[in-house]
Amino acid sequence: MGFIERCAAIKGARIGDGAFSPGPAVWVGTREVAHFDGPGELDVRLTRGAIHARRSELRNDDRVELRAGTSDWIRVRTRSQNDRDHAFTLVKDAVVANLPSARPSGSDLARRRPFK
């Protein structure tokens, strides 16, 4: 099973077209939470709170690139199977972190639906 297929199996995640880069992306409700930026580079919307709580761990991980300032996103290297397994864990964490704020309702739901 490929990386995107594994991500599709995460409870609360769906696969749709990327809003920030071409190709498939992982979505939680109306929020994109992961997409490939290029070969071996995955952007993950871990959320500011989750990044802050794990800043030391993430900063010491040579597979992870933190963005300058405050950002919901991190970049994760995915060149080896071990890297992809680690990235998958971060995507699962991103799905959980984004679930509470990614569920629109009413007219907002119809307007912001990213995929069918």
The total number of structural domains that make up the chain? 1
The pTM of the full predicted model, rounded to 2 decimals, is 0.85
Is 13 part of any domain? yes
Is 114 part of any domain? no
Contact 10, 95 (CB under 8 A): yes
Is 57 part of any domain? yes
Q: Cα 111 to chain center, whole Å?
A: 22
Is 113 part of any domain? no
Domain boundaries, position 10: 3-101
Is 47 part of any domain? yes
Which of 18, 1, 20, 29 lies closest to 88, judged by CA?
A: 1
What tens digit of pLDDT does each residue of 57-99 get? 999 999 999 998 889 999 999 999 999 999 999 999 999 999 9
